[in-house]
């Protein structure tokens, strides 16, 4: 089983990498798809959410769609400009967490971390769920099976991330650039048709959208403002993933900060162009789009659409109409859209493990999140994120619209605190700098971050007001839970560190070592334990046995005397047939009699080669160790005895995959 497991692991994640090999540094053309696929892919679902919100007031409200798109684009420009300052000031890859912690304090940093944790999980869930919807649009047989498709996509992406950047960068680049090329081709062809007057209508153009309850025309000014605010907050999902480049700066080739900043600008240009193109084309092609749960609001000739009516995504409808008569074009668009949505989750798989390692380093997360796996990736963080995303997908049925209501809150919490931290950073730098030219550059950077702070704060307020009751309260609650957990973990680590801090009194030698060897029967493990205990030269050495059967105890004492051991054997009588309690009480009594001494308990144990053998042996030893470890002044020493099954397992060498060789820094190699 060990060999099979090791071979399977090697097939899944590849050969082990040495720490000295490090991670592969990325060129800009590879870094763009690796870190920016989330923001680029938002064009596949952000327009859908804008039209869904506007549809509450009927199709006439779609006239505001491109205004909403422009507002989202403006926010993106400001956020990108602000994060360019973050990249320049903090190229270490700490991102929002580092900025908030350094400039606003540990509590602000923990708040940002809790927001990012929730956001990363939602990024995976939203992107993968949207991707499963595109899969259903291309393959109707998958309709109704979106949850299973989404889970399969998460597992596949997890495996790719566990293998490391080197193996997945080329795949991501191919898919991302294919998506950009197909989007450019579709939009360019659509605008050419628009200019020539040949732009077709989408399949839903002949439908009528009934106003939602409470949104009957004419709308009051307040109702219109609320409607536009809701549409704007939903459209802001286009900004997710923008911050990922700031956390991935160390993965860029030199000059790291300049390359990361250039990639960020390129990301913004591409995202804004695609977002506005899709929104304008959708409006011009007569799109009618509502919440998937409100399909009954769509009518044709006064009759509600059938109950099994399939409402394809906005992009799928546009591609279907533009490439009418050329099915390959339609399938190419929905295929690459679905694939990039799967890869969009990679920004979270890049960002979360790095964040988890920083939190583990600072004592706010379990240390396991800071450990690198065989491929130098933070494997535990990747697996934790995958599990969290799958839980969300199952809980919300892989429905993008339901998940979107939870989205964005965490994004703009981290955006806002990060911008506030950057303003404080530049203010502090300004006090230290006396050169006028440098002060001018700092003032410009601070001004950009101040604009970013004001704008992201306003967006955060809008998002909270418009989405809180619609599901954002779940996100806020999750953030509070993660915040409390991280603070509790940090307190625990601090308390443990304080307890473990070495002092002068810890150098004192124990006045006496009383060694006790546990004996159940006279066999090789017992003799080995006795020999080892003697070799340590304790002040006092004795053997003890717990008597639960008088005949067996008498036989043991007789054999002990016959072998003429120079170690006394003491019998602990147990009238209730307990084995653990008498030993613990005896060791505690010795310790109480000599508080400055140490009681060393030697426990013989079998070493077996199969898991089922472990069930058959060592159960009493495990229980006893568990109790003795909580007894002050008692040291527990396991004395192993290897059975033949363990030796055979060692000969098979399950810890090294067949065909692999240890490097020169090891003293052994795989047996040939």
Q: Which residues contact 614 (CB under 8 A, 6 or more apart)?
A: 608
Higher pLDDT, 576 or 278: 278
How confident is the model at residue 254, as a pLDDT? 84
> Please, what's the largest Cα pairwise distance for the chain?
110
How confident is the model over 219-238, as pLDDT tens digits? 788 889 989 998 998 888 88
Is it the case that residue 49 has pLDDT exceeding 50? yes
How confident is the model at residue 442, as a pLDDT? 93
Mean pLDDT along residues 286-310: 82
How confident is the model at residue 16, as a pLDDT? 53
CA dihedral (89, 92, 93, 97) in degrees, to 10, reads -70
Q: What is the DSSP letter of 517?
A: E
How confident is the model at residue 199, as a pLDDT? 93
The answer to whether the beta carbons of residues 322 and 193 sit under 8 Å apart is yes
**Parallel/antiparallel/unpaired status of strands 298-300 and 303-304:** antiparallel
How confident is the model at residue 655, as a pLDDT? 46
How confident is the model at residue 271, as a pLDDT? 92
How confident is the model at residue 602, as a pLDDT? 95
How confident is the model at residue 30, as a pLDDT? 80
Higher pLDDT, 538 or 246: 538
Is it the case that residue 437 has pLDDT exceeding 70? yes
Structure tokens at 230: 């809701």
**Parallel/antiparallel/unpaired status of strands 513-518 and 208-209:** unpaired
How confident is the model at residue 164, as a pLDDT? 64
Confidence grade of residue 666 (pLDDT, cut at 50, 70, 90):
very low
Is it the case that residue 598 has pLDDT exceeding 50? yes
Strands of 540-547's sheet, edge to edge? 569-573, 540-547, 513-518, 598-607, 634-642
The span from the CA of 281 to the CA of 14, in Å, is 45
How confident is the model at residue 23, as a pLDDT? 53
CA 316 to chain centre: 30
Is it the case that residue 392 has pLDDT exceeding 50? yes
The answer to whether the beta carbons of residues 26 and 252 sit under 8 Å apart is yes
Q: What is the DSSP letter of 295?
A: G
Higher pLDDT, 615 or 68: 68
φ, ψ (nearest 5 deg) of residue 640: -80, 145
How confident is the model at residue 21, as a pLDDT? 46
Is it the case that residue 190 has pLDDT exceeding 90? yes
CA 15 to chain centre: 23
Is it the case that residue 13 has pLDDT exceeding 60? no
Nearest to 496 by CA among 363, 365, 633, 634: 363
What CATH number labels 25-307+322-494?
Answer: 1.20.1740.10
How confident is the model at residue 667, as a pLDDT? 45
Is it the case that residue 670 has pLDDT exceeding 80? no
Is it the case that residue 445 has pLDDT exceeding 90? yes
How confident is the model over 450-503, as pLDDT tens digits? 999 999 999 999 889 888 888 889 999 999 999 999 999 999 999 988 888 877
How confident is the model over 91-118, as pLDDT tens digits? 887 788 889 999 999 999 999 999 989 9
Percent of all residues in the chain with a pLDDT value above 70, rounded to a whole number:
90
Name the helix (H) or strand (E) containing 132: helix 106-138
The span from the CA of 400 to the CA of 408, in Å, is 13
How confident is the model at residue 571, as a pLDDT? 93
The span from the CA of 39 to the CA of 45, in Å, is 11
Angle (CA) 488-489-490 rounded to 5° is 90
Neighbours of 498 (CB within 10 A): 8
Nearest to 120 by CA among 353, 393, 399, 468: 353
End-to-end CA distance of the chain: 20
Higher pLDDT, 670 or 204: 204
The answer to whether the beta carbons of residues 456 and 415 sit under 8 Å apart is yes
The chain-wide mean pLDDT, for the chain, equals 84
Exposed (0-12), middle (13-18) or buried (19+): which is 655, by Cβ within 10 Å?
exposed
Given the structure tokens 């900043």, which residue do they identify?
261
Task: Look at domain 513-652 and name its CATH class.
Answer: alpha beta
Q: 139-143, 153-157, 288-292, 422-426: lowest mean pLDDT where?
A: 139-143
The domain spans of the chain are 25-307+322-494, 513-652
**Parallel/antiparallel/unpaired status of strands 298-300 and 208-209:** antiparallel
Is it the case that residue 69 has pLDDT exceeding 60? yes
Report the chain's C-alpha Rg in angstroms: 33
CA separation, residue 75 to residues 119, 414, 605 (Å): 18, 15, 65
Mean pLDDT along residues 276-284: 94
Confidence grade of residue 3 (pLDDT, cut at 50, 70, 90):
very low
How confident is the model over 149-164, as pLDDT tens digits? 899 989 988 887 887 6
The answer to whether the beta carbons of residues 366 and 360 sit under 8 Å apart is yes
Q: Which residues pair with 208 in a beta bridge?
A: 299
How confident is the model at residue 111, as a pLDDT? 95
Is it the case that residue 58 has pLDDT exceeding 90? no
Q: 415-419, 536-540, 578-582, 609-613: lowest mean pLDDT where?
A: 609-613
Confidence grade of residue 10 (pLDDT, cut at 50, 70, 90):
very low
Confidence grade of residue 138 (pLDDT, cut at 50, 70, 90):
confident
The span from the CA of 151 to the CA of 157, in Å, is 10
Whether the bond into 390 is cis, omega within 30 of 0: no
Total-model pTM: 0.77
Strands (E), 461-551: 513-518, 540-547
CA separation, residue 101 to residues 90, 121, 362, 636 (Å): 12, 22, 11, 42
Q: Which residues contact 127 (CB under 8 A, 6 or more apart)?
A: 38, 41, 341, 342, 344, 345
Is it the case that residue 664 has pLDDT exceeding 50? no
How confident is the model over 510-546, as pLDDT tens digits? 888 999 999 988 889 999 999 999 999 999 999 999 9
The answer to whether the beta carbons of residues 62 and 398 sit under 8 Å apart is no
The answer to whether the beta carbons of residues 189 and 199 sit under 8 Å apart is no
């Amino acid at each position: 089983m060990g060999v099979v497991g090791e071979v399977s692991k090697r097939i899944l994640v590849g050969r082990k990498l040495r720490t000295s090999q490090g991670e592969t540094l990325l060129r800009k053309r590879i870094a763009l798809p690796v870190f920016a696929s989330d923001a680029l892919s938002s064009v596949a679902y952000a327009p859908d959410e804008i039209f869904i919100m506007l549809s509450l007031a009927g199709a006439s409200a779609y006239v505001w769609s491109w205004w909403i798109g422009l507002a989202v684009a403006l926010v993106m420009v400001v956020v990108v400009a602000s994060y360019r300052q973050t990249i320049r000031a903090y190229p270490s890859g700490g991102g929002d967490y580092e900025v908030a912690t350094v400039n606003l304090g540990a509590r602000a940093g923990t708040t940002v971390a809790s927001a990012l944790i929730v956001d990363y999980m939602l990024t995976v869930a939203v992107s993968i769920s949207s991707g499963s919807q595109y899969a259903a649009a291309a393959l109707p047989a998958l309709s109704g099976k979106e949850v299973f498709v989404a889970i399969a996509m998460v597992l596949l992406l997890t495996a790719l991330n566990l293998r490391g950047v080197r193996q997945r960068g080329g795949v991501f680049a191919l898919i991302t650039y294919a998506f950009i090329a197909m989007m450019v081709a579709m939009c360019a062809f659509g605008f050419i048709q628009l200019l020539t007057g040949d732009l077709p209508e989408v399949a839903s153009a002949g439908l009528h959208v009934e106003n939602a309850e409470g949104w009957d025309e004419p709308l009051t000014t307040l109702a219109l403002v609320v409607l536009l605010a809701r549409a704007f907050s939903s459209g802001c999902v286009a900004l997710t993933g923008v911050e990922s480049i700031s956390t991935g700066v160390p993965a860029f080739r030199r000059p790291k900060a300049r390359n990361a900043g250039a990639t960020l600008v390129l990301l913004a240009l591409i995202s804004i162009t695609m977002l506005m193109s899709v929104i304008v084309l959708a409006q011009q092609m007569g799109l009618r789009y509502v919440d998937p749960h409100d399909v009954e609001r769509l009518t044709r000739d006064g009759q509600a659409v059938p109950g099994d009516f399939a409402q394809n995504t906005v992009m799928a409808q546009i591609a279907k109409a533009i490439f009418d008569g050329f099915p390959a074009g339609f399938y190419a668009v929905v295929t690459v859209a679905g694939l990039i949505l799967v890869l969009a989750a990679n920004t979270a798989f890049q960002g979360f493990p790095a964040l988890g390692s920083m939190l583990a380093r600072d004592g706010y997360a379990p240390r396991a999140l800071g450990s690198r796996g065989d491929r130098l990736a933070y494997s535990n963080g990747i697996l934790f994120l995958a599990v969290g995303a799958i839980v969300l997908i199952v809980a919300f049925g892989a429905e993008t619209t339901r998940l979107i209501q939870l989205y964005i809150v965490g994004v703009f919490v981290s955006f806002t605190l990060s911008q506030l931290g950057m303003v404080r950073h530049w203010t502090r730098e300004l006090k230290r700098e006396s050169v006028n030219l440098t002060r001018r550059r700092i003032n410009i950077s601070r001004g950009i971050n101040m604009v970013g702070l004001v704008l992201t704060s306003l967006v955060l307020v809008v998002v909270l007001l418009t989405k809180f009751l619609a599901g954002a309260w779940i996100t806020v609650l999750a953030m509070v839970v993660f915040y409390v957990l991280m603070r509790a973990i940090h307190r625990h680590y601090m308390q443990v560190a304080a307890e473990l801090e070495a002092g002068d009194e810890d150098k004192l030698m124990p006045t006496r070592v009383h060694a006790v060897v546990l004996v159940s029967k006279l066999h090789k493990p017992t003799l080995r334990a006795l020999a080892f205990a003697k070799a340590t030269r304790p002040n006092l050495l004795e053997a003890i046995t717990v008597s639960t059967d008088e005949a067996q105890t008498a036989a043991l004492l007789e054999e002990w005397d016959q072998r003429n051991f120079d170690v006394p054997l003491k019998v602990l009588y147990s009238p209730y047939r307990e084995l653990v309690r008498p030993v613990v009480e005896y060791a505690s009594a010795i310790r109480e009699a000599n508080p400055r001494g140490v009681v060393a308990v030697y426990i013989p144990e079998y070493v077996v080669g199969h898991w089922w053998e472990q069930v058959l042996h060592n159960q009493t030893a495990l229980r006893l160790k568990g109790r003795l470890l909580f007894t002050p002044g008692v040291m527990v020493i396991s004395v192993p005895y290897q059975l033949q099954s363990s030796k055979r397992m060692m000969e098979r060498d399950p810890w090294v995959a067949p065909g692999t060789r240890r490097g020169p820094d090891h003293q052994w190699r795989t047996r040939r």
